[in-house]
Chains A and B, each alone.
Chain A
């Protein structure tokens, strides 16, 4: 139920005071609410949960995780 999927904002529209983003989730486009992310911009990668974008994904941090093995010394 707490599932979140990453997607990229391709456009943003405003409808009756509510900001809606069109998000590309692995090739599928979905309209999601930006109520929780008022500062999100086109081009941002966001985490989508139940029709709402809940967080902007930090690309640098994602790369850092992928490089985890190189950063951490073998021995503690």
Chain B
């Protein structure tokens, strides 16, 4: 059996590919990756600087932590302040700055905030603490949302009544549509998210090529995967034939994971959602269905935040739309570092600012 990681990093395989990619020197190509894990891979393996300068790799709205609106961040912080609540969430949310505080700060002040690797841990905590309310702060795209849906189905079956979810889950395809509709940045092709696509399948992106004439390739995360994807996109762009292709065949199918899709449909309904940097995108979020409202933290608890303000001078919004590179933010590496982040793009391990800071700040060519 192949070991599924090391071979995909073999320089002997990567070198000839890079050579082939460099033969696309006839024009500028602008490709956008819309998955935070791709952003990290591209930064970490130096792919951005390894490809020729005329091939521009832009980062898009692919970090779920980063696109969570300031108001939702503030609401989660309000929930954590309730002494009856244990707020459970993924680690990346802890340091995201709200208008006045963060989950990490509230925890330091005594709030019950726990970091979970899985929703199943949060369910167990709820079972062990029947005297408390456990609220899972659900953040993430189609990859993560099913794990939350299954936790609600399981809570219902196991009759765990003190478990609920504050859902800020979002959908990737409507965000791609919003980016193309705005026309703000030139996107010649999309490097499409691998693990979101495991769930929703290739079919979810066909509108890109059919309605917008923009090619897309669903990609794996290893350097070999990403370079193959780039070549596939360049080929399509040069031949002016846009389609949706699958580079990540080892895990992605045309239809996706139907069991996960069924759970999503059962538990959630599609709703409008507010994205940081982009604004309100119609039908781009997942709210909990009426049938499961006992598990809906936004119904169970009255969370109101008086006002929400995004961190001043933070360019996260532009970074998330691909309008600015993190390097172009005045605060990058100066007022804003992973130790002292100003915006969520520097907090999340898959935020573009954090990835560029960790892996690319010394490779930057000053122009």
Contacts and interface: CB of A to CB of B under 8 A. Distances in A.
A2 B251 contact: no
Interface string A1-41: 11110100000000011100000000000000101111000
A35 B199 CA distance: 13
Nearest to A20: B120
Contact of A65 (B8, B63, B141, B239): B8
A33 B120 CA distance: 9
A65 B1 contact: no
Contacts of B146: 36, 52, 54
A46 B121 CA distance: 20
A55 B13 CA distance: 26
A70 B70 CA distance: 49
Interface in B128-155: 139-141, 143-144, 146-147, 150, 153-154
Interface residues of B, number: 59
B36 A33 contact: no
B150 A52 contact: yes
A75 to B, nearest CB: 10
Contacts of B263: 35-36
Nearest to A35: B150
B259 A36 contact: yes
B198 A55 contact: yes
Contact of A49 (B17, B195, B239, B348): B195
B284 to A, nearest CB: 16
Nearest to A18: B154
Interface in B18-47: 20, 35-37
B289 interface: no
Contacts of A38: 259
Nearest to A54: B198
B276 to A, nearest CB: 15
The CB with the most chain B CB atoms within 10 A, among A37, A49, A64, is that of: A49
Nearest to A64: B249
Contact of A2 (B20, B121, B141): B141
B55 interface: no
A33 B36 CA distance: 24
A1 B13 contact: no
B259 A50 contact: no
B90 A76 contact: no
A66 B144 contact: no
Nearest to A34: B259
Contacts of A16: 158
A6 B5 contact: yes
A1 B38 CA distance: 11
A36 B150 contact: yes
Contact of A52 (B1, B17, B63, B147): B147
A1 B250 contact: no
Contacts of B154: 18, 35
Contacts of B196: 2
A65 B193 contact: no
A4 B252 CA distance: 12
B365 interface: no
A64 B228 CA distance: 12
B118 A52 contact: yes
